[in-house]
Amino acid sequence: MTMYSAADEAAQGGTPRAKPKQLVRPYGDTTGDGMVQVSFSLPLPPGKLAEGAALQLAGKMGVESAMVVHVQGMGPDFTFFVVYGRMRHGVDLSEVVVLERDYPLLGTKETNQRIEATLGRKLVVVGACIGTDAHTVGIDAILNIKGFAGEKGLEYYREISVLNLGAQVTVPELLARAKEAGADAVLVSQIVTQRDVHLSNTREFAQAFRAGYPEGRCPLLIVGGPRFDETMSAELGVDKIFSRGATPAEVASYLVHAVTGDKDRHLDEQHVVTA
C-alpha cells in the first residue's frame, strides 16, 4: 500500500503542489455545524452525580453545549451514556494520511493464471488465530470457500493451496506447520484486542518467524483484524496488515503482487522482447 495524503494529489511538470487547507467539521442539522453524538460508560451508579460527570467529561472532549440524551444503568455500579453536542474541532483534509492500494485488484481467473505462469506451482498459504484468540470468523472469511461479502475465500482458487489451522494456535506450532507446508505466506487473524493483546501477539509472531527462517527466506507475514492500524506493519514486523472490511479478492491480489511480482515483471519484459 502507498502512503497518501490529499496534499500529495495534484502536481504539474513533476513538481508537487500543496493543496490549500480544506477544513471539514461534523454534520448534524446543518452543514458544518459540528454536532456529534458520543457514547461511553462510567463506573458510577445511575443518578445525578453520574450525569454531571458525563457532561463534564464531554466538555473535556471538546463537546460544547452537551446534553445527555440517553442513560442506561448497567447493574448497580455502572452507567451507559449517549451525549449530544457541538464539536469545536475540524479536520484539515490536506493533513489526512491514508493508505492506498498500490497493486491491481484481480479476479479469480486472473489470479490463478498469474500464479500458474509465474510460480509454476500452487501458492501455499497457512492461516491461523494465534494465542488465546478463539474467534475464527476473520480467518474463515478470507480462507474458507464460503468467503465474505459475496466473494469466495482462498480455498476456491485453483492455484492456491490453503492450510487453515483454526483457533488458539501457538506461535511455535504455527512456525512448524508453515515450514512443513512450505508456506509462501502466513495469515494471522486477531479479533480479541483487550490490553492490545493483538499487538503483542503480532510482534511475537513476527519475531519468531524472522528468527526461524534464514534471511530472505521468510514467507510473507500478514495479519488482519478490525482493530489494526494499517500503517503499523513496519512497527509490528509484518509485511502487510488488513483491517476491517478486507475481502478475499484483496488478499489474493496482494499475494499475487507480493509473491509473484518480480517474476511477473520478468515475464512481462520477456514478452516485450519477443513481441
Q: What are the pLDDT digits (tens) for 75-104?
A: 999 999 999 999 988 899 888 877 788 899
Which domain, by its residues, includes 141? 104-274
| Helix locations, 18-107, DSSP H | 48-60
CATH number at residue 177: 3.40.50.280
In the residue annotation, 146 being an active-site residue is answered as yes
Q: Is residue 99 part of a domain?
A: no
Options 48, 146, 152, 240, the catalytic residue: 146
Our count of domains for the chain comes to 2
Please give the pLDDT value at position 196: 87
What's the pLDDT tens digit per position in 173-193? Answer: 999 999 999 999 999 999 888
- SS3 at position 174: helix
Last residue of a domain, one of 61, 93, 125: 93
What's the pLDDT tens digit per position in 22-64? Answer: 889 998 888 889 999 999 999 999 999 999 999 999 999 999 9
Please give the pLDDT value at position 270: 35
Q: Is residue 159 part of a domain?
A: yes
| Helix locations, the chain, DSSP H | 48-60, 108-118, 137-143, 171-181, 197-212, 233-236, 248-274
Q: Is residue 12 part of a domain?
A: no
Assess contact for 133 and 39: CB atoms under 8 A: no
Last residue of a domain, one of 26, 58, 93: 93
Same domain membership, residue 267 and residue 137: yes
Last residue of a domain, one of 70, 93, 116: 93
Same domain membership, residue 121 and residue 88: no
Q: Is residue 98 part of a domain?
A: no
